[in-house]
């Protein structure tokens, strides 16, 4: 009987604190600026992927995500498959005892442990898991840096999900993208008490995709060049220093200013792109009130290409940040998880905040559909838990 070869991994979501926005090469996903993110804990948000190959499979490569077949014919997925197969072929050509897995069809099965409907950027975890799982299947000696170069071609931000902790993506200057790779600024263990509460906000309609959005911004925004050429390079240095020194005030300030700068270039795009809505702005207002009450920055908001707020804070300030949000927005899905139970609703400053930002608190109460409590976490982890059985059938 022909063998079914299998390998599995999990991979994390990352949320940028210095945003990637703009491509200098759309085909290779080469960015116009470097970026930096925090890898989030896989206990709360992760993609689990099993990659398999066999001569018994039908000729076409396939991918099943949360039980639904996905189109793998797109240039991005194809680029990942092609590059990984080429690396496997090199190994096979140099060692004739190796099975010719590079010639076999791939069957891939993936599952997210978070609701897809939440509109969280799942493509980063998805492509990181896909690339890592196939690299494991092919027993490639590739480093996370090498794999980040491949995952980047699937989705730019995916390259940062190959590492845990605090992760940069160097924009690079080579036209072939060889130096546009992710690097670890610091492991999760360096600053392990970084936490995040994600406020999931439902959007009235689907926003502009990141690819379309960035291309329109590059083509039309006059703020964009200053952001890419001056603001971000300066902030990359400031942010790395803040992380090295575990300086939350500096980390928080740069995080919020960079999110604001990114969304300013979106508004400056023609026609304008609005990712933030009234609920997002209410989250900003409440974070400002939390910081004003503390007399320093203890909470930092950031927003990607959608209205969800991600608020970073340190564990020692959980009561003042997550606890305040719990008191302000009341019962929501997500508070009932193990960590959520631990977060005590903290009404201490709520009245004061309601005086300053009463409308914002009401907007948040109505507009946040669920919360996710998480924190900094590790990079991809190889797992024996398979989503494909020994006969090659998906385990659903
Ligand atoms: O990787 P993409 O194409 O999904 O773009 C991600 C863009 C942002 O999430 C807005 C910023 C970032 O750096 O993750």
Among 188, 215, 247, the domain-final residue is 188
Same domain, 224 and 170: no
- Are 328 and 230 spatial neighbours (Cβ–Cβ below 8 Å)? no
With a 6 Å cutoff on the Cβ, whether 217 touches ligand 1 is: no
Tell me the best of 17, 31, 121 to mutate to test the pocket of ligand 1, counting ligand atoms within 8 Å of each CB and taking the most: 121
Model confidence at 114, pLDDT cuts 50, 70, 90, reads confident
Write out pLDDT tens, residues 178-196.
999 999 999 999 999 999 9
Same domain, 356 and 210: yes
Residue 385 lies in a domain: no
Tell me the best of 13, 14, 21, 45 to mutate to test the pocket of ligand 1, counting ligand atoms within 8 Å of each CB and taking the most: 21
Residue 239 lies in a domain: yes
With a 6 Å cutoff on the Cβ, whether 157 touches ligand 1 is: yes
Same domain, 240 and 142: no
- Average pLDDT rounded to a whole number, residues 107-134: 87
Among 165, 188, 211, the domain-final residue is 188
Write out pLDDT tens, residues 185-240.
999 999 999 999 999 997 666 788 999 999 999 999 999 999 999 999 999 999 99
Same domain, 198 and 151: no
How many distinct structural domains can be found in the chain?
2
Tell me the best of 305, 308, 309 to mutate to test the pocket of ligand 1, counting ligand atoms within 8 Å of each CB and taking the most: 305
Closest Cα partner for 266 from 308, 339, 209? 209
Distance 214 CA to ligand 1 centre (A): 9
- Average pLDDT rounded to a whole number, residues 274-299: 96
Model confidence at 246, pLDDT cuts 50, 70, 90, reads very high
Residue 204 lies in a domain: yes
Same domain, 217 and 78: no
Same domain, 89 and 141: yes
The CA distance from 37 to 216, in Å, is 24
Residue 387 lies in a domain: no
- Are 350 and 328 spatial neighbours (Cβ–Cβ below 8 Å)? yes
Among 188, 203, 236, the domain-final residue is 188
Atom number, ligand 1, closest to the C-alpha of residue 156: 1
Query: Could you give the maximum distance between any two Cα atoms of the chain, in Å?
Result: 74
Q: Domain of 273: which CATH number?
A: 3.30.70.890
Per cent of the chain over pLDDT 90 is: 87
Atom number, ligand 1, closest to the C-alpha of residue 18: 13
- Are 287 and 196 spatial neighbours (Cβ–Cβ below 8 Å)? no
Helix (H, G, I), strand (E, B) or coil at 377: coil
Element (H, E) at 86: helix 75-94
Q: Which tokens sit at 306? A: 């959608």
Write out pLDDT tens, residues 264-284.
999 999 999 999 999 999 999
Helix (H, G, I), strand (E, B) or coil at 394: strand
Residue 335 lies in a domain: yes
Hey, which residues does 184 pair with through a beta bridge? 167
Element (H, E) at 383: strand 381-383
Same domain, 113 and 213: no
Beta strands in 101-222 (DSSP E): 106-112, 166-169, 182-186, 194-201
Q: Going by CA atoms, what residue is nearest to atom 9 of ligand 1?
A: 304
The CA distance from 354 to 360, in Å, is 8
Residue-range definition of the domain harbouring residue 183: 5-188
With a 6 Å cutoff on the Cβ, whether 305 touches ligand 1 is: yes
Same domain, 147 and 216: no
């Amino acid at each position: 009987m022909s063998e079914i070869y299998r390998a599995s991994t999990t991979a994390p979501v990352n949320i940028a604190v210095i945003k990637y926005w703009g491509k200098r090469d759309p085909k290779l996903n080469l960015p116009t600026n470097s970026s930096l993110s925090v890898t989030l804990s896989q206990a709360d948000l992760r993609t689990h992927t099993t990659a398999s190959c066999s001569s018994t499979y039908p000729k076409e490569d396939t991918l099943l995500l949360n039980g639904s077949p996905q189109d793998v014919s797109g240039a991005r997925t194809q680029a990942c498959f092609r590059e990984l197969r080429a690396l496997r072929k090199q190994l096979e050509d140099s060692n004739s005892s190796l099975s010719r897995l590079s010639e076999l069809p791939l069957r891939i099965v993936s599952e997210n442990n978070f609701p897809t409907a939440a509109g969280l950027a799942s493509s980063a975890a998805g492509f990181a898991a896909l690339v890592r799982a196939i690299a494991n299947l092919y027993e490639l000696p590739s480093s996370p840096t090498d794999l980040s170069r491949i995952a980047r071609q699937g989705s730019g931000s995916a390259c940062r999900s190959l590492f845990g902790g605090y992760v940069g993506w160097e924009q690079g200057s080579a036209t072939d993208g060889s130096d546009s790779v992710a690097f670890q600024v610091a492991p999760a263990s360096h600053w392990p008490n970084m936490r995040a509460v994600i406020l999931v906000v439902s959007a009235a309609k689907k926003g502009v995709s990141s690819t379309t959005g960035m291309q329109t911004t590059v083509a039309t925004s006059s703020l964009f060049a200053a952001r890419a050429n001056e603001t971000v390079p300066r902030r990359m240095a400031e942010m790395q220093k803040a992380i090295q020194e575990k300086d939350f005030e500096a980390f928080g300030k740069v995080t919020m200013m960079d999110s604001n700068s990114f969304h300013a270039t979106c508004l400056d795009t023609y026609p304008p792109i609005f990712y933030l809505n009234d609920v997002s702005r209410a989250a900003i207002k409440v974070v400002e009130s939390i910081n004003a009450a503390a007399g320093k920055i203890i909470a930092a908001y950031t927003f990607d290409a959608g209205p969800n707020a991600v608020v970073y804070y340190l564990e020692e300030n959980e009561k003042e940040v997550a606890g305040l949000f719990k008191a302000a927005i009341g019962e929501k899905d997500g508070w009932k998880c193990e960590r959520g139970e631990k977060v005590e609703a903290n009404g201490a400053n709520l009245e004061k905040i309601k005086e300053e930002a009463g409308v914002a608190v009401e907007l948040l109460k109505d507009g946040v559909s669920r919360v996710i409590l998480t924190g900094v976490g590790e990079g991809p982890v190889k797992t024996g838990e398979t989503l494909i059985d020994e006969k090659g059938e998906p385990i659903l």
